Structure 1
Amino acid sequence: MQRRHFLKAGIGLAALGATGFARADAHTTYERFHAALARDPELGVYANLEGNQHGLAVVEGRMPAELQGTFFRNGPGRFELGGERYHHWFDGDGYAQAWRIGAGTVAHQGRFVETRKFLDESAAGQFLYPAFGTNIARKGFRDNDSLNTANTNLLPFNDRLYALWEGGSATEIDPDTLATVGIHTWRDDLAAMPFSAHPKIEPDGTLWNFGALPGGDKVALYRIGVHGDVLQAGVAEIPQLALLHDFAVSARHLIFVVPPYDVSLDADLSLAERHVWAGSTRGARVVVVAKDTLTIRRVYELPPHMVFHFGNAWDDAGGAVTHFDLVLHDGDMLAATSRVMEGEREANRPSAHAATRITLDHATGRVRTTRLLDGAEFPRVMPNVVARRHGRLAVLSSDARNTALALDTVNVVDTDTGRADSWRFGAGWRAEEHVLVPRRGARRETDGWLVGVAQDTTTNTSALTVFDAARVHAGPVALARLPYRTPHCFHGNFLAAQS
Structure 2
Amino acid sequence: MSDRRQFLSRSIGLAALGLTSGAALADADTYRRFHQALAREPRLTAFAGAAGELSGDAVVHGRMPADLQGVFYRNGPGRFELGGERYHHWFDGDGFVQRWQIGGGKVSHRGRFVATQKFVEESAADQFLYPAFGTYIGRKQPKNNDTMNAANTNLLPLGGRVYALWEGGSAVEVDAQTLETRGIKTWSPELKSMPFSAHPKVDPDGGVWNFGTMPGANLLVLYQLSATGELKRSAVVKVPQLNMVHDFVVSGRHLIFLIPPYDLEAGVDTSYRENLHWAGDKRPLRAVVIAKDTLELRQVFELPARSVFHFGNAFEDGACTRLDVVMHDGDILPELGLVMRGELRPFHASASTVQVTLDYASGQVREARLFGASEFPRVAPQVVSARHRKLVLLGVASGSKDYILNTVNLVDIDSGKADSYSFGAGWQVEEHVLVPRRGARSETDGYLVGVAQDSRRAQTVLTVFDAHNIKAGPRAMARLSYTSPLCFHGNFLPA
Corresponding position of 2:445? 447
> Are residue 375 (structure 1) and residue 376 (structure 2) matched?
no
Distance in 1 separating the partners of 2:321 and 2:232: 24
**Range that drifts further, 231-240 or 84-93:** 231-240
**AA matched with 2:234:** A
**Range that drifts further, 93-102 or 139-148:** 139-148
**Range that drifts further, 128-137 or 39-48:** 39-48
Q: TM-score, normalised by structure 2?
A: 0.97
Distance in 2 separating the partners of 1:215 and 1:143: 14
- C-alpha displacement at 1:43, in angstroms? 1.4
- C-alpha displacement at 1:372, in angstroms? 0.6
Any conservation in 2 of the 1:63–1:105 contact (CA below 8 Å)? yes
Distance in 2 separating the partners of 1:128 and 1:348: 29
Any conservation in 1 of the 2:406–2:428 contact (CA below 8 Å)? yes
**AA matched with 2:242:** L
1:220-235 equivalence runs, <5 A:
220-235=221-236
**AA matched with 2:101:** R
Q: Deviations over 1:63-114 (max 9, x none)?
A: 0000000000000000000000000000000001000001000000111111
Any conservation in 1 of the 2:174–2:183 contact (CA below 8 Å)? yes
- C-alpha displacement at 1:399, in angstroms? 4.4
For the residue of structure 2 that corresponds to 1:384, the secondary structure is helix
> Are residue 22 (structure 1) and residue 21 (structure 2) matched?
no
- C-alpha displacement at 1:461, in angstroms? 0.6
Corresponding position of 1:464? 462
Corresponding position of 2:416? 418
1:154-165 equivalence runs, <5 A:
154-165=155-166
> Are residue 324 (structure 1) and residue 323 (structure 2) matched?
yes
Corresponding position of 2:11? 9
Distance in 1 separating the partners of 2:147 and 2:48: 25
- C-alpha displacement at 1:15, in angstroms? 5.1
Distance in 2 separating the partners of 1:349 and 1:115: 31
- C-alpha displacement at 1:381, in angstroms? 0.5
**AA matched with 1:295:** E
Any conservation in 2 of the 1:194–1:213 contact (CA below 8 Å)? yes
1:279-290 equivalence runs, <5 A:
279-290=280-291
For the residue of structure 1 that corresponds to 2:431, the secondary structure is coil
Distance in 2 separating the partners of 1:88 and 1:216: 25
Are the structure 2 counterparts of residues 345 and 11 from structure 1 closer, same or farther at C-alpha, using a change threshold of 3 Å?
Answer: farther
Distance in 2 separating the partners of 1:478 and 1:11: 51
Q: What stretches of structure 1 of length at least 5 have no aligned partner?
A: none
> Are residue 269 (structure 1) and residue 270 (structure 2) matched?
yes
Corresponding position of 2:193? 192
Any conservation in 1 of the 2:18–2:266 contact (CA below 8 Å)? no
Q: Deviations over 1:409-436 (max 9, x none)?
A: 0001001111110000021000000001
For the residue of structure 2 that corresponds to 1:205, the secondary structure is coil
Distance in 2 separating the partners of 1:290 and 1:158: 26
Q: TM-score, normalised by structure 1?
A: 0.96
- C-alpha displacement at 1:380, in angstroms? 0.3
**AA matched with 2:232:** L
Are the structure 2 counterparts of residues 12 and 422 from structure 1 closer, same or farther at C-alpha, using a change threshold of 3 Å?
Answer: farther
- C-alpha displacement at 1:405, in angstroms? 6.0
Any conservation in 1 of the 2:17–2:266 contact (CA below 8 Å)? no
Any conservation in 2 of the 1:258–1:284 contact (CA below 8 Å)? yes
For the residue of structure 1 that corresponds to 2:333, the secondary structure is coil
Q: What stretches of structure 2 of length at least 5 have no aligned partner?
A: none
Any conservation in 1 of the 2:348–2:403 contact (CA below 8 Å)? no
Q: Deviations over 1:299-327 (max 9, x none)?
A: 1111111000011111121xx21011010
How well do the aligned residues superpose, as a CA RMSD in angstroms?
1.4
For the residue of structure 2 that corresponds to 1:387, the secondary structure is coil
Q: Deviations over 1:335-370 (max 9, x none)?
A: 1111111112224664x2111100111111121101
- C-alpha displacement at 1:236, in angstroms? 1.3
1:245-256 equivalence runs, <5 A:
245-256=246-257
Are the structure 2 counterparts of residues 275 and 400 from structure 1 closer, same or farther at C-alpha, using a change threshold of 3 Å?
Answer: farther
Distance in 1 separating the partners of 2:38 and 2:49: 11
**Range that drifts further, 410-419 or 400-409:** 400-409
Are the structure 2 counterparts of residues 403 and 156 from structure 1 closer, same or farther at C-alpha, using a change threshold of 3 Å?
Answer: farther
1:129-278 equivalence runs, <5 A:
129-278=130-279
For the residue of structure 2 that corresponds to 1:242, the secondary structure is coil
For the residue of structure 2 that corresponds to 1:335, the secondary structure is helix
- Choose which of 424, 427, 431 in structure 1 pairs with 2:425: 427
Distance in 2 separating the partners of 1:407 and 1:150: 24
Any conservation in 1 of the 2:21–2:139 contact (CA below 8 Å)? no
- C-alpha displacement at 1:266, in angstroms? 1.1
Q: Deviations over 1:19-74 (max 9, x none)?
A: 42311x52111111111111211111211210101111111110000000000000
Any conservation in 2 of the 1:11–1:214 contact (CA below 8 Å)? no
Distance in 2 separating the partners of 1:78 and 1:347: 23
Any conservation in 1 of the 2:14–2:20 contact (CA below 8 Å)? no
- C-alpha displacement at 1:451, in angstroms? 0.3
User: How many residue pairs align between the two structures?
Assistant: 493
**Range that drifts further, 10-19 or 81-90:** 10-19
**AA matched with 1:10:** I
Any conservation in 2 of the 1:14–1:144 contact (CA below 8 Å)? no
- Choose which of 473, 488, 493 in structure 2 pairs with 1:490: 488
Distance in 1 separating the partners of 2:462 and 2:19: 40
- C-alpha displacement at 1:189, in angstroms? 1.0
- C-alpha displacement at 1:402, in angstroms? 3.6
1:38-117 equivalence runs, <5 A:
38-117=39-118
**AA matched with 1:4:** R
Are the structure 2 counterparts of residues 356 and 100 from structure 1 closer, same or farther at C-alpha, using a change threshold of 3 Å?
Answer: same
